[in-house]
A and B are shown apart, each in its own frame.
Chain A
Amino acid sequence: MIRPAAGGAAQAPEALSVVGRRMRKVDGLAKATGRARYTDDIALPGMLHGKILRSPHPHARILAIDTSRAAALEGVHAVVTGRDMPTTYGIIPWTPDEHPLCVDRVRYVGDGVAAVAAVDEDTANAALELVEVAYEELPAYLDPHDAIAAADGPFIHEPRKPGRNGNVTKVVKLAFGDVEAGIAAAREEGGVVVEGDYFFEGTTHTPIEPHCAIGLADASGKLTVWSATQVPHYLHRELARVLELDPAMVRVVQPPVGGAFGGKSEPFDLEFCVAKLSMITGRPVKILYTREEVFYSHRGRHPFHMRYRTGARADGVLAAVDAEIVMDGGAYASFGLVTTYYSGQLLTAPYQMPAYRFHSTRAYTNKPACGPKRGHGSVQPRFAFEVQLDRIAEALEIDPIELRRRNALGEGTRTVNDLRVTSNGFLECLAMVEDASAWRRKFRRLPYGRGVGVAGSTYISGTNYPVYPNDMPQSAVQLQVDRSGRVAVFSGASEIGQGVDSMVAYVVAEELGVPLDHVRVFAGDTDFTPVDLGAYSSRVTFMLGNACIDAARRVKRQVQKVVAEAWDAKPQEVLLAGGLAVRAGDTGTQMPIREAFNLAEAAFGALGATGSYDTPKDVHGSYRGATIGASPAYSFTAHVAEVEVDPETGFVDVVQIWIAHDCGRALNPVLVEGQMEGSAYMGFAEAIMEEQIFKTADQGRAGLHNAPSLLDYRIPTSLDTPALRSLIVESIDPEGPYGAKEAGEGPLHPSIPAIANAIYDAVGVRMNALPFSPPRVWRALQAEAARTPAARSAATPAAVS
């Protein structure tokens, strides 16, 4: 097993022959030609179709459920309710507050109440209409402040301890250094203290593929569940626990996933329902969510109400940061305990903070549960904080890029909350976007209506501690070499479109010298693959990459040893590359890699190895909560956004975003750029368009989603998307595979504040609430015009020279 402390996996670039090249994805052709088989493409003999009855009320007691008429309908094979699966579950073991189907209470419009399996979807839908549920409606909370204020109840969940507020999931208060002294010092010494209130609107993931699952309980008592999940291992555990099965009798298969973005990173009702319905009927059962159900299942970005107080000295160096955050969690905890920590813990880089304090509260509300979305928990505070920095820069008349430079944390250091930072390419990121965007010619120099803005950020490459406490590796692979020279890799990781199967192939091809198309990656089946904890928190390349190196080098050492003996050379003189074993310094001495493998198999028996990786466990602070946010390595990002604001309509056209991202090393630059563009796109969508609006009681249907369809929920198409320019920075992390760090989530963060700061540069209004939609920008402009009748247009600076 590779543990980072045991020595890095980084390697000089000249020694690499596969890693670093621009390559196709190994599954690219199958997906581009429509041959990939997703979960909904699977049809099993005798398969039934399931549907879930959902609550029409945001908050109600279930008094009685009568399923007899539904069960009697021709074509219906089984009906289940919450009482058939009474065990609670939750992705975080400390907050199990969900049932597969509600037992005695519904907590949001869309909460599952009963499920049917029938010969087809129409029959299943007809059966749902025959299920009779008697509800007693309860007061609904749609605003987190109202939920918190109701300290005496009624509560959305029973308090875990008597006397606590059952409407609160988690409160985190942490302080590092003396914040008040820092604020006072900033005030007294000619510096500045900036205060601001910010609102980050909730947004959802909108993957192309809706959630889908198939359950099959066979005659031997074994349960197989196929699911469009990004966490097959956690699903495996929870299925066994909730359905009271021996985990050894449960198999989870994860077919290719059509987009997830965090929205499929915990168990969902449909997975338990297809399993239970199959256990009852003995037939395979499939449930495919409608798009509306995808919106209600949600687990998307939490709405955050944030208040920041930031002090800086006269030279722009930060003195203190103080944050108070109220998070709107929706009906269930989901990852909320972690989200509450992340809301504060992940803000402490890329800038040095001498003093920092945050107080975050996650409240339950009667709306779809919020959870992790790309950039989990840290995108919202990053928006507020980077706008604060822009205000500080303006107040102190320091260029905002220069201000960020002066505060940069550096490499090989610790943050104020004791996160260990290894490699750090943030300064290079800043320099790259500054140059590429022609920042100095543009900032505060473009004509009224046009502007540029900058922002920076950091993100984790996985978490040092897994979701459930254990001492086993976080990631593992098994590798097996065939006599034809082909290498099979059994990988526990989840391919969700991000390219993890390709990454596995690149690493193995690099280490064993086989052609890329001779590496076969088998993944996503708990019966055949070792455990990887899942595709979340940007952990996979870092952890699985290291596990692949570990396994491949075990085989490589055997091959080198046996070939060295044949050549009367030293093992390290045997190079494996390009389908050959070659003697270093004597390239005339070589043999096909297949022959080298055959020699090794003859000497050692069947050729294969396992490899694993576990995170460093001794590199965090000693305070309670210090492990949350601790990562083996951090990525860094800087964006410059250029916008054109139509002051008459408030429409913001984001013309271009320059994205510089320190990913450690780009194992395949094409995929890194894809992640950077996809992230910046998603941030742009949240900044400009996305809005989760729920009806209030005054509007007749409290908690009803206003736009649970892609016709009404606003996300950008390719036509709406700005030009995106990706600039890769490689800081070569000492512990990452070949120096690699994450690239999938970090590059989202700065989009939003960079656009907000660009809008300010363009038209002089601060957008403190998302989205920066035309009506909001227009209202802000109206308010600004009312405040300062001599609008900035009167004093338009000189155009770009």
Chain B
Amino acid sequence: MEDFQYHAPGSVDAAVSLLRDAEDGKVVAGGMSLLPLMKLGLAAPGGLVSLGKVSGLDGIADRGSEIEVGALCTHAQVAAAEIVRERIPALAAMAEGIGDAQVRNRGTIGGSVAHNDPAADYPAACLALGATIATDRREIAADDFFLGMFFTALEEDEVITAVRFPVPTRAGWAKFPNPASKYAVAGVMAADGPAGVRVAVTGASGDGVFRVAEMEAALASSFEPASVAGVSVSAEAMLSDDAAGPEYRAHLVTVMAKRAVEEA
């Protein structure tokens, strides 16, 4: 691991200004993605700005038509929160299936969304539910946020403060995990909510999270597992790794979509 400067500011504003000043600065919360990358030498930020001492970002609130999840909420917190379990059970189920217990106790929603790993679970939930990502300076619709593998609409010095999920009529989550890392080989959230009927897929494509228009159209006319069971996605843009090749991944997308609808 390379040397770096470590900062632990007490407020979001201070974090933003430290990021602005740092040479190649990075925000760190739970560190579940960034620290392994640093240890492997795949990332070498000059400055780490920890949000550990920033208060007020770790709450979960019921805002009526939306559930607001603070950026520092851990996956374990989201999975266990009564509000989430009652109002968006698919989101709780998704959080409960991330990584392992250690990752769920350290990793945060803000970190997962900002990192936008193509196999992370949260991007699919955000996109399917039509979430809004709130930052220190603006609000960004999930549709405009995830721009490609490890690439988001965030500015270099921008800090996520919360993610707001509209409460859907129904939503379901199904994931086929990598047996080693528990990252999604294919993970699908199917939702029928304020943002319409949506099917968002993570883990499968090299471009990151994506929606499947043909499945959404089929579900819009009948929200049943059978509606998507016959809809296949192209293997062309699928990821290929030791766990699965493109053809198998494409197949899994359909199976997971069907199971997500079953869960809804």
Mark A residues whose CB is within 8 Å of B: 648-651, 689, 691, 693, 706-707, 709-717, 720, 773-775, 778-779
Given A648-B255, A649-B252, A649-B255; A774-B244 close (CB under 8 Å): yes
- Contacting pair B179 A714 (CB below 8 A): yes
A706 in contact with B242 (CB, 8 Å): yes
* CB–CB B244/A714 < 8 A: no
- A720 contacts across to B, CB distance below 8 A: 179
Interfacial residues of chain B within 226-261, with CB under 8 A of chain A in the complex: 242-245, 248, 251-252, 255
Please state if A715 and B255 are interface contacts (CB–CB under 8 Å). no
The interface bits of chain B over 139-153 (1 if a CB of A lies within 8 angstroms of the residue's CB, else 0) are 000000000000000
Given contacts A650-B248, A775-B248, 19 further A-B contacts (CB under 8 A): A648-B255, A649-B252, A651-B176, A689-B179, A689-B180, A707-B180, A707-B242, A711-B180, A712-B180, A712-B181, A713-B180, A714-B242, A714-B243, A717-B100, A720-B179, A774-B176, A774-B244, A778-B248, A778-B251
Residues in chain B near residue A774, CB distance under 8 A: 176, 244, 248
User: In the docked arrangement, what's the CA distance between A775 and B255, Å?
Assistant: 13
Complex Cα–Cα for A648 and B229 (A): 11
Closest 10 CB pairs of A and B: A775-B248, A714-B180, A648-B255, A714-B179, A693-B242, A775-B244, A689-B179, A711-B181, A706-B242, A712-B180
* B248 cross-chain contacts in A, Cβ below 8 A: 650, 774-775, 778-779
Residue of A nearest to B258 (CB): A648
- If over half of B's interface residues share one DSSP class (helix, strand or loop), that class is named, otherwise mixed; here it is loop
Contact indicator A775/B245 (Cβ below 8 Å): yes
Query: Closest CB of chain B to A783's CB: distance in Å?
Result: 13
* 18 residue pairs from A and B, CB less than 8 Å apart: A648-B255, A649-B252, A649-B255, A650-B248, A651-B176, A689-B180, A707-B180, A709-B40, A711-B36, A711-B181, A712-B180, A712-B181, A712-B242, A714-B178, A715-B180, A774-B176, A778-B248, A778-B251
A706 to B180, CA, bound (A): 13
Tell me the complex Cα distance, A762–B123, Å. 36
In the complex, how many angstroms separate the beta carbon of B66 from the nearest chain A beta carbon?
34
Contact, CB under 8 Å: A691 / B242: yes
Which chain B residue shows the least CB distance to A689? B179
Q: State A717–B176 Cα separation when bound (angstroms).
A: 17
**Least distance between A770 CB and chain B CB atoms (Å):** 14
Q: Closest chain B residue to A778 by CB distance?
A: B248
What residue in chain A is nearest B100 (Cβ atoms)? Answer: A717
Interface contact A649-B36, CB-CB below 8 Å: no
Interchain CA distance A715-B178 in the complex, whole Å: 11
Distance between Cα atoms of A720 and B181 in the complex (Å): 12
Q: Which residues of A contact B176 (CB under 8 A)?
A: 649, 651, 774
Closest to A719 in B: B100
Bound-complex Cα distance A513 to B255 (A): 64
Report Cα–Cα, A714/B242, bound state, in Å. 10
Query: Which chain B residue shows the least CB distance to A646?
Result: B255
Q: How far is the CA of A711 from the CA of B102 in the complex (A)?
A: 14
- In the complex, A648 Cα to B251 Cα: how many Å? 9
Kindly list chain A residues whose C-beta atoms are within 8 Å of the C-beta of B251.
Answer: 778
Q: Mark B94-117, 1 if CB is under 8 A from A, else 0.
A: 000000100000000000000000
* Complex Cα spacing A320 to B259, Å: 49
With CB as the reference atom, state the residue of chain B lying closest to A693.
B242
- Shortest C-beta distance, B99 to chain A (Å), equals 11
How near does chain A come to B233, taking the closest CB pair, in angstroms?
15
Chain B residue nearest to A714 (CB atoms) is B180
Q: How far is the CB of B257 from chain A (nearest CB, A)?
A: 12
Q: Which residues of chain A have C-beta atoms less than 8 A from B252's C-beta?
A: 649
Residue of B nearest to A782 (CB): B251
- Inside 8 A of A714's CB, which chain B residues have their CB? 178-180, 242-243
User: What's the nearest-Cβ distance from chain B to residue A206, in Å?
Assistant: 11
Report B197 CB to chain A, min CB distance, Å: 23
Shortest beta-carbon distance from A412 to chain B in Å: 45
Q: How many Å from the CB of B2 to the closest CB on chain A?
A: 10
Cα-based distance from A773 to B179 in the complex (angstroms): 10
Write the nearest CB–CB distance from A706 to chain B, whole angstroms. 6
Minimum CB–CB distance from B186 to chain A (whole Å) comes to 9
Q: State the CA gap A778–B179 with chains docked (Å).
A: 16
Alpha-carbon distance A775/B100, docked complex (angstroms): 23
Q: In the complex, how many angstroms separate the beta carbon of B1 from the nearest chain A beta carbon?
A: 9
Tell me the smallest distance from the CB of B258 to a CB of chain A, in Å: 8
Using CB atoms, name the residue of chain B closest to A706: B242
Could you tell me the distance between the alpha carbons of A714 and B180 in the complex, rounded to whole angstroms? 5
Min distance, Cβ B32 to any Cβ of chain A, angstroms: 11
Q: How far is the CB of B37 from chain A (nearest CB, A)?
A: 11
Residue of B nearest to A648 (CB): B255
Q: Which residue of B is nearest A709, CB measured?
A: B40
Instruction: For residue A526, give the distance in angstroms from its CB to the closest CB of chain B.
Output: 37
Instruction: Please indicate which of the listed interface residues B100, B176, B180, B242 has the most CB atoms of chain A within 10 Å of its own CB.
Output: B180
Residues of A within 8 A of B245 (CB): 775
CA distance A713 to B40 in the complex (A): 15
In angstroms, Cα B180 to Cα A779, docked, is 21
Q: What's the minimum C-beta distance from A778 to chain B, rounded to whole angstroms?
A: 6
CB distance from A434 to the nearest CB of B (A): 31
Most B C-beta atoms less than 10 A away, residue of A691, A706, A774: A774
Roughly how many angstroms separate A778 CA and B185 CA in the complex, as a whole number? 15
A710 to B40, CA, bound (A): 12
CB distance from A128 to the nearest CB of B (A): 14
Which residue of chain B has the shortest Cβ distance to A713 in the bound complex? B180
- B 5-45 to A, binary, CB cutoff 8 A, 1 in contact else 0: 00000000000000000000000000000001000100000
- State the CA gap A716–B178 with chains docked (Å): 11
Rounded to whole angstroms, the CA-CA distance of A709 and B180 in the bound complex is 10
Task: State the CA gap A774–B40 with chains docked (Å).
Answer: 28
Tell me how far the C-beta of A801 lies from the nearest C-beta in chain B, rounded to whole angstroms: 30
Given the complex of chains A and B, what is the CA–CA distance between A412 and B125 in angstroms?
66
Query: Which residues does chain B contribute within 8 Å of A775, judged by CB atoms?
Result: 243-245, 248
A317 CB, nearest partner CB in chain B, Å? 41
- A513 CA / B179 CA spacing, docked (Å): 50
Question: Which chain B positions have C-beta within 8 A of A709?
Answer: 40
In the complex, what residue of chain B is closest to A720 when comparing beta carbons?
A: B179
B256 to chain A: closest residue by CB: A649
In the complex the two chains form, what is the Cα distance from A715 to B181 in whole Å?
Answer: 10
Task: Specify which chain B residues have a CB less than 8 angstroms from the CB of A689 in the assembled complex.
Answer: 179-180
Residue of A nearest to B249 (CB): A775
Taking CB atoms, residues of chain B closer than 8 Å to A778 are 248, 251
CB distance from B89 to the nearest CB of A (A): 22
Q: How far is the CA of A706 from the CA of B240 in the complex (A)?
A: 13
CA of A601 to CA of B250, assembled, Å: 79
Q: How far is the CA of A689 from the CA of B182 in the complex (A)?
A: 13
Contacts of B100 in A (CB 8 A): 717
Alpha-carbon distance A779/B176, docked complex (angstroms)? 17
Cβ contacts under 8 Å, B178 to chain A: 714
| Nearest CB on B from A521, distance (A) | 36
**How far in angstroms is the closest Cβ of chain B from A49?**
16
Interfacial chain B residues near A648, Cβ < 8 Å: 255
Residues of B within 8 A of A706 (CB): 242
Residues of B within 8 A of A773 (CB): 243
- What residue in chain A is nearest B244 (Cβ atoms)? A775
Min CB–CB distance A124 → chain B (angstroms): 15
Q: How far is the CA of A773 from the CA of B244 in the complex (A)?
A: 9
Distance (Å) between the CB of A123 and the closest chain B CB? 14
Pick from B100, B176, B179 the residue with the most CB of A within 10 Å. B179
Q: Which residues of B contact A693 (CB under 8 A)?
A: 242
Residue with the greatest number of chain A CB neighbours at <10 A, chosen from B178, B245, B252: B252
State in angstroms the CA–CA spacing of A626 and B243 once bound together.
Answer: 42
